[in-house]
């Protein structure tokens, strides 16, 4: 029979029990797996939060400082821009304009979510303690030479320093303005340094003054005030010892040497270290002419007027005044920086003798007044109505400081001469000895005494010849006018002429020859009516102030000296066509202030050391005649001059050329004005030409409020042009 055997998996009790146990465990196991999934979610959240915290911490530690460092760098860049604007404000103050400057002293750090930013930073602004700048060896030309005589001049100056309080930049910078240099200083050196001390032949020093010491996180605004300002330079040179300039500085020696390396006139540099300041000393190349400009600028200070340092005569010295006439004398008061001092008290002193004239201030009618906004004051000298012969007079004008103490004085010399106001001025000085004849002044004392002897006329055939040989020839007033229709010769080792000289012949000439000595012919008249040349020569100086020299014929007129030539208030005239009028100082200075010089041929004035034509009138108005003014070593003063010519007007000088209020015009050709190593400067000038106006200067052309006209467009050639 067939048996059905049961399945072991279903029939075994043990297996059944085991199956139940396993199934139960399996059900319980499914609950345990659900719990582990919840724990993992919590753990993941915690891990993510920790990761975010770690990331924020890492950014706070590493990235935020870098971001803040960038913020500080951007602030520093903006501060340097503000500092450059401050430097421009200083430059404006140097020219006399008051401005205000703003510097954002503190840095603001941006707020960033999740990150900590520091509070806003601050910066310090301060002016340093005063230190001393010095200039020595500088000798000025003209009237300023009484003050700038080569001695040492010292000036207090300060520095302006801005230092931001940065937290992240590795090197804390300081922005520094020293007046003559600007730079950003770090612990290891400086960047962006510039200097304005020496530029070719231009020397400029700016002295800073202030009392600032503050720290702030805000934008700081402060005034920049001109305490001593002027637009003109003074011309200086050395007298054998080179000019040296010493300035206090914190800029490194290497930086200074780099800044001055390309300056051809810097002969040497010395650098001395100190506790508070270092000292830079620059020696300039000798034998050259330099333009010196000094200024004082106040920083956040109301500014006080500078005290007077010296006084100069602007007009009126060495004048010839007829009895009863008035004469104008102008002074200018300057401070230690050579700039005008307004509201300075100036007083005139009385004359020397009983015949002295009366001197009063023009605006007050008394001996005292104050200077105007340009530092000037005008006095009027009135000569007595009659004098005995010729009288030398003088008067002083004194400037006082704010305490009433005398600071400096300037002396004006005048000559009073007998005769009516319209009579010819003649003679030299009252002290001249007059024995009644021409004589040789052997000892040169102006008296006929001792070994002096009479000089007779040795001319023949109508010629007049007075010749003292190696002695000084004196022609006193008692000889009266010398007249001849033949040649006239006056000669000696020096000549003193006190009478008029007239040549009337068609072939006559006038020859006044002082040999190696000087010629003095103040106020006389020398005239050739229709003859040949007039020649006036001297190895030393020629004084023709107040004289009249006239060439009325078709011949030349020549005045030539080895030393200075004085033609102040003189009249020099050449009336015929195509002849030469020449005034030449081969080794000196030509002064023709308020003179009238005219010719119908070429007119040439040449002063090796300079030419002063202030207030003069020059004309050459025939056949394209040229007007030429030259100075090989000095400058030319054309302030207030009137120069009118048909031909070229040519002005060429080594130094500065001044044209304040000048009227210069060529009716047919060109005007050319050239300063080889200086500047051309002057306000309210009128310069015109039918063809071209060409103005050239080595350093600067400064002609504000001026009219410059030609057929096209004036040619102005200079590194710095302001017209």
Reading the block at residue 551, the tokens are 């060439």
Give the span between the Cα atoms of 462 and 465, in whole angstroms: 10
Residue with the two structure tokens 């000048």:
662
Reported as a pLDDT band with limits 50, 70 and 90, residue 33 is very low
Nearest to 516 by CA among 482, 499, 539, 543: 539
Reading the block at residue 18, the tokens are 């085991």
DSSP code, position 587: S
Instruction: Give the Cβ contact number of residue 575 at 10 Å.
Output: 15
Q: What is the per-residue pLDDT for 212?
A: 92
If you count DSSP H runs as helices and E runs as strands, how many of each does the chain have, helices first? 4, 64
* Structure confidence by residue, pLDDT tens digits, 609-662: 999 999 899 988 666 678 999 999 999 999 989 998 888 999 999 999 999 889
Q: Domain spanning 310-417: which superfamily?
A: Immunoglobulins (2.60.40.10)
CA distances from residue 25 to 15, 22, 522 in whole angstroms, order as listed: 15, 5, 145
* Structure confidence by residue, pLDDT tens digits, 664-702: 999 889 999 999 999 999 888 999 999 999 999 999 999
Task: Determine the Cα angle at 246 with ends 244 and 249, to 5°.
Answer: 155
Nearest to 535 by CA among 570, 582, 474: 582
Give the span between the Cα atoms of 293 and 306, in whole angstroms: 16
Give the span between the Cα atoms of 263 and 204, in whole angstroms: 14
* Structure confidence by residue, pLDDT tens digits, 193-211: 999 999 999 999 999 999 9
Instruction: Give the Cβ contact number of residue 79 at 10 Å.
Output: 20
| 693 neighbors 710 (Cβ within 8 angstroms) | yes
Instruction: Give the Cβ contact number of residue 618 at 10 Å.
Output: 25
Give the span between the Cα atoms of 268 and 270, in whole angstroms: 7
* Structure confidence by residue, pLDDT tens digits, 546-600: 888 988 878 899 999 999 999 988 899 888 777 889 999 999 999 998 899 988 8
Reading the block at residue 435, the tokens are 């024995």
By mean pLDDT, which of 29-43, 293-307, 378-392, 552-566 is the weakest?
29-43
Instruction: Give the Cβ contact number of residue 288 at 10 Å.
Output: 17
Based on its alpha-carbon atoms, the radius of gyration of the chain, rounded to whole angstroms, reads 43
Reported as a pLDDT band with limits 50, 70 and 90, residue 322 is confident
**How crowded is the C-beta side of 459, counted as CA atoms within 13 Å?**
19
Mean pLDDT, rounded, for 363-387: 88
- Domain range annotation of the chain: 73-104+122-299, 310-417, 463-722
For the chain, how are helix, strand and coil distributed in percent, rounded to 5? 15, 40, 45
DSSP for 563-575, written as a single string: S-EE-TT-EEEEE
Instruction: Decide if pLDDT at 158 tops 70.
Output: yes
Q: What is the per-residue pLDDT for 16?
A: 42
Q: E strands, 335-487, where?
A: 345-348, 358-361, 368-370, 376-382, 390-400, 406-417, 439-441, 453-454, 464-467, 472-475, 482-484
Q: What is the per-residue pLDDT for 419?
A: 42
CA distances from residue 578 to 90, 165, 473, 655 in whole angstroms, order as listed: 54, 78, 34, 31
Give the span between the Cα atoms of 377 and 372, in whole angstroms: 6
């Amino acid at each position: 029979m067939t048996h059905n055997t049961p399945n072991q998996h279903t029939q075994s009790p043990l297996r059944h029990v085991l199956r139940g146990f396993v199934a139960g465990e399996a059900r319980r196991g499914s609950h345990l797996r659900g719990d582990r999934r919840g724990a993992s979610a919590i753990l993941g959240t915690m891990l993510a939060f920790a990761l975010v915290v770690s990331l924020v911490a890492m950014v706070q530690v590493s990235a935020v400082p870098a971001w803040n460092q960038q913020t500080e760098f951007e602030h520093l860049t903006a501060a340097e821009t503000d500092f450059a604007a401050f430097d421009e404000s200083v430059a404006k103050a140097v020219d006399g304009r008051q401005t205000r400057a703003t510097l954002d002293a503190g840095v603001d750090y941006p707020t960033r979510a999740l990150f900590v930013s520091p509070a806003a930073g601050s910066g310090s602004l301060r002016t340093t303690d005063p230190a001393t700048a010095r200039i020595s060896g500088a000798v000025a030309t003209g009237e300023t030479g009484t003050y700038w005589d080569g001695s040492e001049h010292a000036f207090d100056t300060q520095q302006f320093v801005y230092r931001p309080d940065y937290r992240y930049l590795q090197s804390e910078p300081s922005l520094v303005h020293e007046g003559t240099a600007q730079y950003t200083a770090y612990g290891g050196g400086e960047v962006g340094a510039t200097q304005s001390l020496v530029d070719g032949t231009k020397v400029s020093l700016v002295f800073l003054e202030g009392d600032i010491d503050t720290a702030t996180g805000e934008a700081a605004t402060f005034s920049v005030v001109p305490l001593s300002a002027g637009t003109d330079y003074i011309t200086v040179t050395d007298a054998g010892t080179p000019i040296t300039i010493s300035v206090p500085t914190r800029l490194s020696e290497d930086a200074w040497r780099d800044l001055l390396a390309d300056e051809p006139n810097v002969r040497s540099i010395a650098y001395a270290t100190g506790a508070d300041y270092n000292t830079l000393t620059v020696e300039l190349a000798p034998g050259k002419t330099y333009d010196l400009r000094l200024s004082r600028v106040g920083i956040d200070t109301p500014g006080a007027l500078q005290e007077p340092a010296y006084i100069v005569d602007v007009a009126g010295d060495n004048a010839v005044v007829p009895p009863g006439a008035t004469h104008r004398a102008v002074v200018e008061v300057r401070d230690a920086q050579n700039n005008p001092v307004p509201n300075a008290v100036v007083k005139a002193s009385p004359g020397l003798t009983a015949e002295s004239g009366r001197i009063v201030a023009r605006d007050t009618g008394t001996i005292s007044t104050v200077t105007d906004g340009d530092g000037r004051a005008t006095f009027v000298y009135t000569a007595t109505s009659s004098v005995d012969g010729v009288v030398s007079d003088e008067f002083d004008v004194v400037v006082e400081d704010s305490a009433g103490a005398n600071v400096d004085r300037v002396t004006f010399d005048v000559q009073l001469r007998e005769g009516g106001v319209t009579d010819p001025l003649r003679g030299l000085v009252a002290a001249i000895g007059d024995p009644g004849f021409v004589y040789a002044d052997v000892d040169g004392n102006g008296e006929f005494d001792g070994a002096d002897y009479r000089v007779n006329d040795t001319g023949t055939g109508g010629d007049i010849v007075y010749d003292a040989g190696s002695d000084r020839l004196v022609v006193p007033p008692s000889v009266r006018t010398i007249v001849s229709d033949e040649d006239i010769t006056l000669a000696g080792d020096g000549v003193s002429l006190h009478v008029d000289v007239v040549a009337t012949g068609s072939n006559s000439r006038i020859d006044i020859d002082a040999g190696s000595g000087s010629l003095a012919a103040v106020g006389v008249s020398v005239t050739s009516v229709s003859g040949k040349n007039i020649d006036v020569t001297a190895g030393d100086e020629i004084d023709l102030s107040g004289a009249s020299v006239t060439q009325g014929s078709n011949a030349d007129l020549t005045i030539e000296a080895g030393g200075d030539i004085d033609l102040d208030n003189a009249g020099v005239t050449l009336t015929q066509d195509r002849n030469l009028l020449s005034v030449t100082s081969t080794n000196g200075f030509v002064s023709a202030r308020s003179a009238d010089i005219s010719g119908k041929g070429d007119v040439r004035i040449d002063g090796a050391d300079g030419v002063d034509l202030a207030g003069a009138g020059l004309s050459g108005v025939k056949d394209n005649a040229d007007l030429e003014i030259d100075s090989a070593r000095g400058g030319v003063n054309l302030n207030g001059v009137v120069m009118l010519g048909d031909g070229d007007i040519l002005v060429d000088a080594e130094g500065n050329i001044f044209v304040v209020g000048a009227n210069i015009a060529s009716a047919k050709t060109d005007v050319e004005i050239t300063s080889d190593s200086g500047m051309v400067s002057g306000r309210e000038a009128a310069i015109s030409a039918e063809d071209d106006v060409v103005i050239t200067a080595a350093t600067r052309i400064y002609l504000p409020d001026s009219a410059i006209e030609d057929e096209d467009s004036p040619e102005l050639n200079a590194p710095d042009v302001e017209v």
